[in-house]
Structure 1
Amino acid sequence: MASSSRTRRTAVAGAVVLTALLGLYVWLVAAGAIALIQTGKVVGILLGAAFLVLPLVVIWVIAREWMLAIDVQRLADELAAAGELPVDDLPRSPGGRIDRAVAREQFDAARDVTEAAPDDWRSWYHLAFAYDAAGDRKRARESLRTARRLYRA
């Protein structure tokens, strides 16, 4: 249990550091955009205004991802308390790659459960991790978003 707690703290610390670095980058871009606007020249004003959009988009994306991470952790905590948290026990190659054939079998099983219970956030959570093991990160995130939406409903 202590190892799990330490791993979680390390992951959160890493995410906070990366977010802080991204925040510094956004601040520098915004400062540059404002400097361009302050030139008073039409081209500078137009470029500065365009560059101000980038920090707004980045801030929106960061906030959205942090909210998803917080909600997914809540879901994981609830599943762990119920003894239903997915276990990563897939066989791996010596290099650490997941055996895709076994991952596909588990994915098919998770998909079948989700199709049978499309309004159950737990099945979508499990499907997300099956997608991730199968290498489809985009659909994994979509499934986590669906699980979160169903959980909140």
Structure 2
Amino acid sequence: MGGKITYAFLSTALVIVFAVVALEGVLLLRTGEPAAMGMGAAALVLPCVGAWFLWHNTRFARNANRLARELEAEGGLPADEPARTPGGRIDREAADAIFARRKREAEAAPDDWRCWFRLAVAYHDARDTPRARKAMQRAIDLHDGKPVREERETAA
């Protein structure tokens, strides 16, 4: 729950920053000075790009949480398996061993979103965030019946 509150707070702060930047862009556009108008146009583009990224990131997180709830209801949510260091960090060797097992499972059942979800968690535990996101996106696509693009292949 704390993560959701933090995400909502930071997203709200980001939207406020977007609004301030857009307002400054409008003010710069109204000056009539060519250089200021160029900066104003750029200032209007930045909030649009930022809002697009925020929207896609929020949608990704919601879809991943939806799959997690469904997998938990089925009793298939991966347990917090990896051993931890005395400081609470995940032991790298333990995470790598779990990752190898999850990778084999995903290779054996490439059309099972549950295997890809578990592989995404294993990638995350192994501190490979880009591949974790790709594997989670593949799980979401498989779950929703969307075609899976070749660039999202992560178990190979």
The AA in structure 2 aligned to 1:34 is: V
User: After the TM superposition, which residues 13-32 of structure 1 pair with which residues of structure 2 at under 5 Å, given as runs?
Assistant: 13-32=5-24
Which residue does the alignment assign to 1:88?
A: 80
Q: Distance in 1 between matches of 2:44 and 2:109?
A: 44
1:52 deviates by 1.2
Match of 2:153 in 1: none
Q: Identify unmatched segments of 5+ residues in structure 2.
A: 146-156
Higher helix share: 1
Deviation at 1:120? 1.1
The partner residue of 1:106 within 98, 101, 113 is 98
Q: Contact 2:82–2:98 at 8 Å: present in 1 too?
A: no
Deviation at 1:89, TM superposition (A): 2.7
When normalised by structure 1's length, the TM-score is: 0.91
Q: Calculate the TM-score normalised by the size of structure 2.
A: 0.89
Deviation at 1:70, TM superposition (A): 1.2
> By how many angstroms is 1:106 displaced?
0.4
- Asked if 1:136 is matched to 2:128, the reply is yes
How far is 1:133 from its partner?
A: 0.5
The unaligned stretches of length 5 or more in structure 1 are 1-7
Q: CA RMSD in A?
A: 1.0
Q: Structure 2 counterpart of 1:32, which letter?
A: E
Find runs of 4+ consecutive structure 1 residues off by over 4 angstroms: none
Partner of 2:3: 11
Count of matched residue positions in the alignment of Structure 1 and Structure 2:
145
Whole-Å separation in 2 of the counterparts to 1:63 and 1:144:
17
Indicate whether 1:58 and 2:67 are aligned. Answer: no
Pairing partner for 1:42 from 34, 38, 44: 34
